[in-house]
Structure 1
Amino acid sequence: MSELEPLSPLEALELWLERLQSTRSEATIESYRYRMQSFVEWCDEEEIDNLNDLTSRDVFRYDSERRSEGLSPATLKTQLGTLKLFLEFCDRLEAVPEGLYEKVEVPTVELAERVNDELVRAERAEQILEDLELYDRASRRHAIFAIAWHCGCRLGGLRALDLEDCFFEPSDLDRLRHQDDIDHEALEEVDLPFLYFRHRPETDTPLKNKKQGERPVALSDDVASLIKSYIQVKRAKRSDGDRRPLFTTEKGDNARVSKSSIRRDIYILTQPCRYGTCPHNRDEENCEALKHGHEARCPSSRSPHPIRTGAITHMRDEGWPPEVVAERVNATPEVIRAHYDHPDPIRRMQSRRSFLNKEADT
């Protein structure tokens, strides 16, 4: 290997993410950036400002620190796996010692571990919604969590929603009557309420599956009522150019809430101590996970994706066919079965029993 080229961790990260733009979705790139944030911060704390100086012992120390922070096995696997990909890229740039990426030990995660550690169960989601109903009704966080759980949508889909994507009253349907891709006859019989997820990359709100990700998603009356209350009372009345975001910020240059803000809201809402007591015997007055920007350090906190996973699993436990769930959450039935369908055996047996009883009655 030739002489190493000096490169800071942050500069290398930006180069890597820029290189990935042609082959990865924006959501994937943002997830990589988020996962690598702790490594960049760690390098800064350790005064490693040149990746040339990074050694296998440093990688081992970082690995050990991450493992000691109480991260779930699945989270640890994704973060260290991303670090390995990043260091492999740096290896090709000749910015780190040759073969350093091979020193990263990515833990394996059994399916059961992944389910138990990441998936948000229905009971926990319902408890969070009950707490929000009691202590923070119709807040932005309440509306975000309710939609995420009820629709099983992705983070990017939540952020992309506008007021005009909310259909509560018959008059709202007028917004669809001029569109060529809408069956106008179906509009005469469509049931309300629903949300319409739209792909608008030109204004920085793409959906992961692009145009194929566009879909209307039915809402329950309770969730629709909550969203309407949020819009009428708690939503900051701001515009994003010609658009009116559903989820807005109180101040700042950007009216539309950022992905990082939504992610932080979810981390906060899934911390048990926010509306109860800490199950980890931590000093709640001095817990680092209660500090701004460190919410993910709570062992019980979860990112938006486990909300989606839990919602999908709950739909399947309730007896929804994979094909129906797939259309609602914008995934294929095969993906549902392979990556999201983690059944509780007792509930799944009950749903099969209900299905068989219905078949017997017909």
Structure 2
Amino acid sequence: MSDDLEPIAPREAVDMWIDRLQSTRADETLKSYRYRLKPFLEWCEKEGIDNLNDLTSRDVFRFDSTRRADGLKVSTLNNQIGTLKQFIQFCERIDAVEQGLPVKVEVPPVELADRVNDELLPAERAEAIREKLHRYERASRRQAMFELLWHTGCRLGGLRALDLGDCFFDESDLERLRHQDDIDSEALEAVELPFVYFRHRETTPLKNKREGERPVAIDQEVADRIQDYIDVNRVERVDPDDRRPLFTTEKGDRPRVSKSSIRREIYIMTQPCQWGGCPHGRDTTNCEALKHGREARCPSSRSPHPIRTGSITHMRDEGWPPEVVAERVNATPEVIREHYDHPDPIRRMQSRREFLTEDSE
């Protein structure tokens, strides 16, 4: 052990690292980091490692071997060791571990097929749901939610964070932006409507906080359907921060719809039997997935994330460059390619053909 190191217990170092990340990471991300490091902390206690100064590359190798022996999926092991490596890099910076230790930590490689989530919502199914919602639940909260999720590719937290004042559908709405310090007033002169503006606020944080803030253009048809909901079925309520949520509740002390409620609504509207027969041969008179709180038990139901995945894939199939999609949905181009890009080979070929045709004109 080097004399330059400063003694620190594993749990204390993890707390210090998480605290350091508070200003740049969402709460859910920090929770996932703690969860991934929990097995390492338990292993350190079992092995009697109470000072990270004593941690060696051989120790990390033994921990890795232990986790492999537990039968973890490669993707799970990749996440845990990858997070551990980030943590050890922080420990190196604060003189808690030997210099050069992070370089010796090998993160298990993962094949693309093991990294991606195939439970995306295909574009054809999304359009079918849009059509049914417009026919049978026009101007409903569900319709407005689905329109925004599909067309913006936003996360559940971003959808919930929207206020009524974050919708910019006509010229009068732009006045709300003209006096904000972070807005270029000259740019507003040429801005095209409609769009929604995702904002990070203390009580409704975005995943990437301030870096997640962005205006996102939407089609006029989408804006019209959201406006129908606002005009007809939105319940006017003000939350404790004197904000007017876009998606409100009718009763209770929480004016803004909860994440669990949004998730449940998505499960319901992606159940095929809502619009026709059951493709799984179930009896819809007593199917458990039709009971309150059990909607996710339908094999065809989807949570908000597969809608985001399907939306991003659809944008790519339509020929949108990864960099453009990344800005729209608040992700990096690398993440788009690795986790969300599930190409239909024929459509992707056609989009490349159209891109080449346009480029040659």
Work out whether residues 152 and 307 of structure 1, in 8 Å CA contact, stay in contact via their aligned partners in 2. Answer: yes
Give the secondary-structure state (helix, strand or coil) at the position aligned to 1:118.
coil
State the partner residue of 2:144. Answer: 143
Work out whether residues 207 and 213 of structure 1, in 8 Å CA contact, stay in contact via their aligned partners in 2. Answer: yes
Change (3 A) 1:276 1:342: same
State the partner residue of 1:226. Answer: 225
Give the secondary-structure state (helix, strand or coil) at the position aligned to 1:196.
strand
Change (3 A) 1:200 1:116: closer
State the partner residue of 1:189. Answer: 190
Q: TM-score, normalised by structure 2?
A: 0.73
State the partner residue of 1:281. Answer: 281
Q: Distance in 1 between matches of 2:301 and 2:70?
A: 25
State the partner residue of 2:236. Answer: 237
Change (3 A) 1:101 1:252: farther
Q: Which runs of 5+ in 2 are unaligned?
A: 1-14, 47-62, 76-110
Q: Distance in 1 between matches of 2:243 and 2:319?
A: 38
Q: TM-score, normalised by structure 1?
A: 0.73
Q: Distance in 1 between matches of 2:228 and 2:293?
A: 29
Work out whether residues 168 and 194 of structure 1, in 8 Å CA contact, stay in contact via their aligned partners in 2. Answer: yes
State the partner residue of 1:37. Answer: none
Work out whether residues 312 and 341 of structure 2, in 8 Å CA contact, stay in contact via their aligned partners in 1. Answer: yes
Task: Determine whether 1:175 maps to 2:176.
Answer: yes
C-alpha displacement at 1:26, in angstroms?
Answer: 2.5
Q: Which amino acid aligns with 1:182?
A: I
Q: Distance in 2 between matches of 1:285 and 1:152?
A: 34
C-alpha displacement at 1:87, in angstroms?
Answer: 6.8
Q: Which amino acid aligns with 2:177?
A: L
Farther off after superposition, 170-179 or 106-115: 106-115
Q: Which runs of 5+ in 1 are unaligned?
A: 1-17, 33-81
Change (3 A) 1:267 1:332: same
Work out whether residues 245 and 256 of structure 1, in 8 Å CA contact, stay in contact via their aligned partners in 2. Answer: yes
- Larger Cα-atom Rg: 2
How many pairs were matched up?
289
Task: Determine whether 1:217 maps to 2:216.
Answer: yes
State the partner residue of 2:163. Answer: 162
C-alpha displacement at 1:86, in angstroms?
Answer: 6.5
State the partner residue of 1:320. Answer: 320
Matches within 5 A, 1:48-63: none
Q: Distance in 2 between matches of 1:333 and 1:102?
A: 31
Deviations 1:117-144 (A, max 9, x none): 4111100111111110111111111111
Q: Which amino acid aligns with 2:195?
A: F
Change (3 A) 1:19 1:133: farther
Work out whether residues 139 and 226 of structure 2, in 8 Å CA contact, stay in contact via their aligned partners in 1. Answer: yes
Matches within 5 A, 1:322-361: 322-361=322-361
C-alpha displacement at 1:212, in angstroms?
Answer: 0.7
State the partner residue of 2:99. Answer: none
Q: Which amino acid aligns with 2:288?
A: E
Deviations 1:155-203 (A, max 9, x none): 11000000100001111111011111111011111111100000001xx
Q: Distance in 2 between matches of 1:31 and 1:252?
A: 30
Matches within 5 A, 1:39-188: 105-107=71-73, 111=112, 117-188=118-189
C-alpha displacement at 1:271, in angstroms?
Answer: 1.2
Q: Which amino acid aligns with 1:167?
A: F
Q: Which amino acid aligns with 1:358?
A: E
> Segments of 4+ in structure 1 off by > 3 A?
18-24, 27-32, 84-94, 99-117
Q: Which amino acid aligns with 1:145?
A: F
Matches within 5 A, 1:249-260: 249-260=249-260
Work out whether residues 195 and 216 of structure 1, in 8 Å CA contact, stay in contact via their aligned partners in 2. Answer: yes
State the partner residue of 2:308. Answer: 308
Work out whether residues 88 and 101 of structure 1, in 8 Å CA contact, stay in contact via their aligned partners in 2. Answer: no
Work out whether residues 115 and 339 of structure 2, in 8 Å CA contact, stay in contact via their aligned partners in 1. Answer: no
State the partner residue of 2:267. Answer: 267
State the partner residue of 2:49. Answer: none
Deviations 1:45-89 (A, max 9, x none): xxxxxxxxxxxxxxxxxxxxxxxxxxxxxxxxxxxxx7x876777
Q: Distance in 1 between matches of 2:178 and 2:167?
A: 15
Work out whether residues 27 and 156 of structure 1, in 8 Å CA contact, stay in contact via their aligned partners in 2. Answer: no
State the partner residue of 1:200. Answer: 201
Q: Distance in 1 between matches of 2:116 and 2:280?
A: 20
User: What is the aligned-residue RMSD (CA, Å)?
Assistant: 2.8
C-alpha displacement at 1:337, in angstroms?
Answer: 1.1
Q: Distance in 2 between matches of 1:106 and 1:302?
A: 25
Q: Distance in 2 between matches of 1:114 and 1:343?
A: 15
C-alpha displacement at 1:27, in angstroms?
Answer: 3.5
State the partner residue of 2:98. Answer: none
Q: Which amino acid aligns with 2:306?
A: P
Give the secondary-structure state (helix, strand or coil) at the position aligned to 1:310.
helix
